[in-house]
Amino acid sequence: MQQEIRFATFNVCNLAPPGVKLYDNLLPTTPEEYEAKLNWTARQIDLLDADVIGFQEIFSQATLREVLARSRRYREAFHAGFDPDPAAMRLTPSVALVSRLPLVSPVPLAEFPRGIELPPGSRDAARFTRAPLHAVVQATPDVAVDVVVVHLKSRRPDYRTGDTGEDPALYALACLRSLIRRGTEAAALRVLLTEMGRANRRPRVVLGDFNDVADSVTTSIVLGAGTPMADRLYDASQVQRRVDHARHLGFSSVHEGHYSTIDHILVSEEFNAALPNAIGEVLDVLYLNDHLDLELPEASDHGQVLARIRLFDESHGLMDAGM
């Protein structure tokens, strides 16, 4: 039985075909830039060497498949992802899941659960901006894990038509709208994860770009602080066994000189060794982020987060029972 499982989250930053217009303030990728982007991304996932990777900012699942084909470790991996509506006027980013372990039943979670919605007048008031992706990973013959890949609403101001950031009131209101959407998505995700845990009774792992730090209100909503223990999730970096504070440089984003971690791996009680129902533990959480300081043009603007989880063997339970 495999004793260690490696989970990672990777915001690739606008992975799209060359020549495609993504945003008004962003030039399309040239063929040369496209080649560099694919090669760097393939090398980076090989460096991660994770069993399961959740991806964000995938504008084309075919482009991600090209990355996998250029890798050494993921050419035969399972890939789950859904492209945006081909009839849409412009491509929109989505998430994806790649696994070297058997992967079954991938499904996007586009709709909010009943009772959760944005204020009246909001666009897509009962839908995620970017639909989370849920799949079951068969970690071992005896252990299946519900894995959910997420990308919550960014902090980018949500302007109404004609608004600009020059007016401080309009800017503040635009930022508030983004926060409300991210918070509503967090609440919807909390309900979906609770329902998933109660229905399936399997370990859960959430991989993604939360666009906020671990102790923010929105991330805390997803974690389920204050809810029954069986429903809660735990930040892998907070429950890891090995922490070397002298060398621990846990950040995944640099913005205007500010270093923070907005990409997280969350685990359910089954992977929190401090809890009685644990079947494994988070050994450590690692961050691949050197490229952020190097400012490589082909690299992502996010660091990658990797969590190593060790499954307990049967003797562990016997030892615990005898202590």
Q: Give pLDDT tens digits for 106-139.
A: 999 999 999 999 999 888 899 999 999 999 999 9
pLDDT confidence bin for 322, thresholds 50/70/90: very low
DSSP bridge pairs for 266 = 206, 235
Of the listed ranges 103-112, 246-255, 267-276, 292-301, the one predicted with least confidence = 246-255
pLDDT tens digits, residue range 58-78? 999 999 999 999 999 999 999
> Is pLDDT at 246 greater than 60 in this prediction?
no
Q: Exposed, middle or buried, 43 (CB in 10 Å: 0-12/13-18/19+)? A: middle
User: Which DSSP string do the residues of 207-253 spell out, in sequence order?
Assistant: EEE-SS-TTSHHHHHHHTTTS-GGG-EEEHHHH-S---TTT-----E
Please compute the mean of the pLDDT values over residues 262-266 and round it to a whole number.
Answer: 96
Antiparallel, parallel or unpaired: β 304-311 and 258-260:
unpaired
- Residue 5's closest CA among 108, 133, 104, 147? 147
Q: What number of other Cβ atoms are within 10 A of residue 87's Cβ?
A: 5
pLDDT tens digits, residue range 293-306? 777 889 898 999 99
Buried b (16+ CB within 10 A) or exposed e, 166-202: eeeebeeebbebbbebbbbbbbbbbbbbbebbeeeeb
pLDDT tens digits, residue range 2-44? 689 999 999 999 999 998 888 878 888 999 999 999 999 999 9
The pLDDT of residue 200: 95
Residue matched to tokens 């995944």: 252
The pLDDT of residue 320: 44
The pLDDT of residue 315: 56
Q: Where are the beta strands (DSSP E) in the chain?
A: 4-15, 52-58, 78-81, 94-99, 103-108, 133-138, 144-151, 204-209, 233-235, 253-255, 258-260, 263-268, 280-288, 304-311
The pLDDT of residue 318: 39
Please compute the mean of the pLDDT values over residues 142-148 and round it to a whole number.
Answer: 97
pLDDT confidence bin for 163, thresholds 50/70/90: confident
Considering the chain, what is the average pLDDT of its residues? 89
DSSP bridge pairs for 81 = 96
DSSP bridge pairs for 98 = 53, 79
The pLDDT of residue 248: 53
What global pTM score does this model have? 0.92
The pLDDT of residue 244: 59
Residue 49, helix vs strand vs coil: coil
> Is pLDDT at 256 greater than 60 in this prediction?
no
* Phi, psi (deg, nearest 5) at residue 26: -130, 125
DSSP bridge pairs for 173 = none
Residue 270, helix vs strand vs coil: helix
Of the listed ranges 33-37, 297-301, 313-317, 318-322, the one predicted with least confidence = 318-322
Of the listed ranges 38-47, 89-98, 102-111, 182-191, the one predicted with least confidence = 89-98
Identify the DSSP state of 91.
-
CA distance 102 to 120: 42
Identify residue 234 by its one-letter amino acid code. Y
